[in-house]
Amino acid sequence: MKQMKRTGLSILLLSAILLLVVGTVQAQQGEQGDTGYITGAVYKDINGDGVCIDTGVNGEDPVQGVTIEFVSSDEQTVVTLTTADNGTYGLADAGESYWRVTAKPDATKYFVTSENPLYAPVFPDQGLVQTGYNFCISDGTIVGPDGTNAVIILPILPESGAAASTNHLWVWLTAVFGLGLIGTGIVLEIKRRTG
């Protein structure tokens, strides 16, 4: 009888511990899924086609240290992360929003060849866990199908909100030339109609 009591208590104790462990794991998984989660990766784009993940192209490897910016739809929440050594990133506890996800690599080394930014709808009806928000970046050296390299010039664009260029001479010369062409056209049209 004592042996049955001990066995019963042991089974009850093991069941309680197992239930506690399973409940804790499920609660942690539920928390991640209930508050939203966005994941993706950044890979090097060797051939410049904007497709770089699972392509089978040699050299299209993960890139670590790329800044990823998340901005909520109301623009009240801005989160910045960097990619891990395997090129991946993940925003946990994102919260419900239509998130703008932007890859911001070091502009002196890389530029983005894939769509950028991407938009992640983190809502219960569209899925609180959003995956596959991937970016491709290039260093300006494109490897062609024949294996030869071609160097392209990195696009140098002004940063959003940056001051305009101080070289106004070209703007004025272009404006004067354009107005001159318009004036000449008007004069020629008047002569044609009257003459």
Q: For the chain, which residues make up each domain, given as ranges?
A: 36-151
Structure confidence by residue, pLDDT tens digits, 143-154? 666 555 555 555
User: In the prediction, which pLDDT does 119 show?
Assistant: 92
| 124, pLDDT greater than 90 | no
Q: In the predicted model, is pLDDT for residue 5 greater than 60?
A: no
pLDDT score for 32: 44
State how far the Cα of 180 lies from the Cα of 146, in Å rounded to an integer. Answer: 50
Q: Provide the pLDDT for residue 30.
A: 44
Global pTM reads 0.58
| pLDDT-based confidence at residue 2 (cuts at 50, 70, 90) | low
pLDDT of 171 above 90: no
By residue count, the chain amounts to 195
Task: Return the closest-CA partner of residue 67 out of 135, 130, 114.
Answer: 135
E-strand spans in 74-178? 78-82, 88-92, 97-104, 111-112, 118-122, 129-130, 135-138, 141-143, 149-151
The average confidence (pLDDT) of the chain is 76
Residue 194: CA count within 13 A, CB half-sphere: 6
Q: Which CATH code, of 1.10.150.130, 1.20.120.80, 2.60.40.10, 3.30.420.240, is assigned to 36-151?
A: 2.60.40.10
* Predicted pLDDT at 41: 92
pLDDT in tens, 69-115: 999 888 888 999 899 999 899 988 888 888 999 999 988 888 888 88
Please give the pLDDT value at position 128: 85
Q: Specify the range with the lowest mean pLDDT, choosing from 47-61, 111-125, 158-172.
A: 158-172
